[in-house]
Copies of this chain bind each other. A is one copy, B any other.
Amino acid sequence: MTILCEPMVYYPEHVITNEDTIFFLDELHPDTPNKEKAFRMIRNSTIEKRHLILPLDKTIELGDFGERATIYSEEARKQSTLVSQQAIKKSGAATKDISMVIVTSCTGFMMPSLTAHLINSLKLSNSTIQLPIAQMGCAAGASAINRAYEHCQQNSSNNVLIVALETASLCFHREANRLQDFITNSLFGDGVAAVVMKGDDNGSGFKLSNTQSHFMNNSEEYITYSITSNGFHFSLDKDVMHSISKVAPKIVQFIEDSFDKKPHELDSYIFHTGGKRILDEVERCLSLNSSSLDNSRNCLRDTGNTSSVAVIDVLKRHFKQRKVGGLGVLVAFGPGFTTEMSAGEWV
């Protein structure tokens, strides 16, 4: 047995609405072409608010990579400890029994990674295995779950603490004024989530039975960073919108292999909150009911796309509706173009 326990999530106190986003982008870029098109797209995003680690005025004034990295390191340390403690407590596992800690974070960087900080701050065992994942982007939450699954399959006494922490606001660059920059600056949000995977069968949660990765050839440019002296610059190519129809047959196959069922016959669809268009495409390509992705859509509405955090937030939302014996899939998409999938049952 390998059970994902109930996650804990935390969003920082500073809030930005879609109208705030449009207002400040308009002020920063009064004469930019495509602005009105961008603003229509932002108004159509279904995002109501996002959370930021800094007030908006400080976010807009962010300086070079060094300044951002320092803020990241301080905030990441501060935010990750409490939510991890809560997740461990919720799981019923003893702190000393955590055998691996995975941290996913693609919006800031530090070495030693947050895994080292957490072993110290949570007083985890000195034999805890560290697995920091910085380069899987939005797929990283599901990627961490799939790697944790392999670790728990080794030994039923293994338990994994997974922490996803993102500070997309530290990747904001005031001078960026392309259409895709406006979309990026209105889509991503900050947040942190923690969840424990237990290798034994004590407890309730989402019991995993199968995992799968899928890589789409020659799609490296769909979701990319560039790096400059001012930090990471996210870039979303518009081709990313066509990715879901291409990868959908693989998700259908995974569901059939895992459960011998059609996609619409499952009980829980724990999908990464990529954006409205991505979720519409998932619904369409898998022929799902219109309410199947409600938890993902609500997560998008409340937080934007929080990269690796989002799929764990969506998992938490599904905990409230879980029915023992219900079947579900957990899926996240990220750079590569990569799809990480897990199949499981509520226990």
A positions within 8 Å CB-CB of B: 64-66, 69, 106, 109-113, 115-117, 119-120, 124, 126-137, 143, 146-147, 150-151, 153-154, 212-218, 220, 223-230, 250, 335-336, 338
A116 to B213, alpha carbons, bound, how many Å? 12
**Which of B69, B115, B223 is in CB contact (< 8 Å) with A112?**
B223
When all copies of this chain in the complex are counted, the total is: 2
Contact B127 A214 (CB under 8 A): yes
Also in contact, A66 and B126, with CB within 8 A (given A112-B336, A335-B112): no
* Min CB gap A331→B, angstroms: 15
Also in contact, A128 and B220, with CB within 8 A (given A111-B137, A135-B113, A150-B150): no
Contact A212 B132 (CB under 8 A): no
A119 to B218, alpha carbons, bound, how many Å? 9
Residues of B contacting A146 with CB < 8 Å? 129
Also in contact, A215 and B69, with CB within 8 A (given A335-B111, A336-B112): no
Known interface pairs A65-B228, A126-B216; 10 further A-B residue pairs with C-beta atoms within 8 A, sorted by A's residue number: A69-B228, A110-B225, A111-B137, A111-B223, A111-B225, A116-B335, A117-B220, A127-B212, A127-B214, A130-B336
In the complex, the chain B residue whose C-beta lies closest to that of A114 is B135
In the complex, the chain B residue whose C-beta lies closest to that of A217 is B120
A223 to B112, alpha carbons, bound, how many Å? 7
Residues of B contacting A129 with CB < 8 Å? 146, 213
In the complex, the chain B residue whose C-beta lies closest to that of A254 is B127
Contact A220 B120 (CB under 8 A): yes
8 inter-chain pairs at a CB distance below 8 angstroms, sorted by A residue, are A110-B227, A111-B223, A115-B135, A117-B220, A130-B215, A130-B336, A131-B147, A153-B154
Also in contact, A112 and B128, with CB within 8 A (given A64-B228, A226-B66, A229-B66): no
Contact B112 A135 (CB under 8 A): yes
Contact A224 B154 (CB under 8 A): no
In the complex, the chain B residue whose C-beta lies closest to that of A103 is B135
Residues of B contacting A130 with CB < 8 Å? 136, 143, 213, 215, 336, 338
Contact B66 A228 (CB under 8 A): yes
Residues of B contacting A229 with CB < 8 Å? 64-66, 229-230
Contact A119 B217 (CB under 8 A): yes
In the complex, the chain B residue whose C-beta lies closest to that of A149 is B154
* Min CB gap A183→B, angstroms: 18
Residues of B contacting A119 with CB < 8 Å? 215, 217, 336
Q: Which 10 A-B pairs have the closest CB atoms?
A: A229-B229, A113-B135, A69-B227, A66-B228, A64-B229, A112-B335, A132-B135, A111-B225, A116-B336, A129-B213
A113 to B224, alpha carbons, bound, how many Å? 9
Residues of B contacting A212 with CB < 8 Å? 127
Contact B227 A65 (CB under 8 A): yes
In the complex, the chain B residue whose C-beta lies closest to that of A222 is B112
Residues of B contacting A126 with CB < 8 Å? 214-217, 250
* Min CB gap A251→B, angstroms: 13
In the complex, the chain B residue whose C-beta lies closest to that of A63 is B229
Residues of B contacting A225 with CB < 8 Å? 109-111
* Min CB gap A12→B, angstroms: 21
A214 to B127, alpha carbons, bound, how many Å? 5
* Min CB gap A217→B, angstroms: 6
A284 to B336, alpha carbons, bound, how many Å? 46
